[in-house]
C-alpha cells in the first residue's frame, strides 16, 4: 500500500519551459549561441542547470561557464513564474491526495524549487522538498529518494516516484520504489517504458494509487 508519493517538479508538476528558456537565452547571449526554443529546452533539462550550461557552451567556452551560470541564476531568480504554471489537474489532485505523505525531489536547486512551489501556491501540499544541492547527489542517484523516505519514515515498498524523465525512473528503481511515468512532460515517452505505471494526465494518479 502506497503511503508516500515523491514527485519530480519540472515537467511533472509544472510547465516551466518558457521561463527556463528565457533565462537560458539571457545567460548565453554574450556567447553568440543561437537562441533556444521552449521545445529545445524541454529536451535539455533534467540533469541540473550546471550540466545543461556546460553542455550548451561546450569545452571551448569553459572559461565562461561560471559567468554564464551566474547570468542564468540572476535572471531566473527574478522571473521564476512569469509563465510557469501547474499542469492541468495538479492542484485538485494534490488536494485529493491529502491522505498520502508527499515530497518533491527535483534536479533544480532546492531554494529555487521551493520558491517556484511557493509562488504557485503549491508548497503547502508537500512534507518535504529536496533539490540538486540537498544531499550531494541528484537523480538518477537514489540518495535523494532515500533521504526523503528516511525523513518521512517510509519504506521503498510504501513509496512511488512520479516523474517525466528517465532519471526519475532510474532513481526509483535504484531506491527500490515503485515508479510512475507521466507521458505529458518534457521527455519522450519512449524513454519511460521501464516505469511500473504510466499516466497521460495528472488526474489519473489518484485512481491509480487508490487502486493499489
User: What H or E segment, with its residue span, contains residue 113?
Assistant: helix 110-119
Query: Measured over all CA atoms, what is the biggest interatomic distance in the chain, rounded to whole angstroms?
Result: 53
- The label of the residue with cell 551560470 reads 69
Beta bridge partners of 181: 163, 198
Q: Which three cell numbers mark 197?
A: 505505471
Q: Do 138 and 107 form a contact (C-beta atoms < 8 A)? A: yes
Q: Do 20 and 45 form a contact (C-beta atoms < 8 A)? A: yes
Catalytic positions are 8
Q: Do 38 and 17 form a contact (C-beta atoms < 8 A)? A: yes
Beta bridge partners of 101: 4
Cα 147 to Cα 105, 155, 169, 178: the distances in Å are 10, 11, 17, 16
How many Cα atoms are found within 13 Å in the side-chain-facing hemisphere of 62? 2
Amino acid at each position: 500500500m502506497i503511503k508516500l508519493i515523491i514527485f519530480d517538479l519540472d515537467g511533472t508538476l509544472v510547465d516551466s519551459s518558457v521561463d527556463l528558456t528565457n533565462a537560458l537565452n539571457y545567460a548565453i547571449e554574450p556567447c553568440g549561441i543561437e537562441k533556444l526554443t521552449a521545445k529545445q529546452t524541454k529536451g535539455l533539462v533534467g540533469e541540473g542547470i550546471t550540466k545543461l550550461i556546460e553542455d550548451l557552451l561546450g569545452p571551448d567556452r569553459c572559461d565562461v561557464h561560471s559567468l554564464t551560470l551566474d547570468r542564468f541564476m540572476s535572471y531566473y531568480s527574478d522571473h521564476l513564474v512569469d509563465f510557469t504554471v501547474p499542469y492541468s489537474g495538479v492542484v485538485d489532485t494534490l488536494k485529493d491526495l491529502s491522505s498520502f505523505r508527499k515530497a518533491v525531489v527535483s534536479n533544480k536547486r532546492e531554494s529555487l524549487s521551493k520558491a517556484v512551489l511557493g509562488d504557485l501556491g503549491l508548497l503547502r501540499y508537500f512534507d518535504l522538498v529536496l533539490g540538486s544541492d540537498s544531499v550531494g547527489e541528484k537523480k538518477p542517484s537514489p540518495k535523494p529518494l532515500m533521504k526523503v523516505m528516511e525523513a518521512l519514515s517510509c519504506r521503498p515498498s510504501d513509496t512511488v516516484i512520479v516523474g517525466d524523465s528517465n532519471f526519475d525512473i532510474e532513481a526509483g528503481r535504484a531506491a527500490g520504489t515503485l515508479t510512475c511515468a507521466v507521458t505529458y512532460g518534457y521527455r519522450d515517452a519512449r524513454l519511460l517504458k521501464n516505469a511500473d505505471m504510466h499516466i497521460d494526465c495528472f488526474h489519473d494518479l489518484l485512481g491509480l494509487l487508490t487502486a493499489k
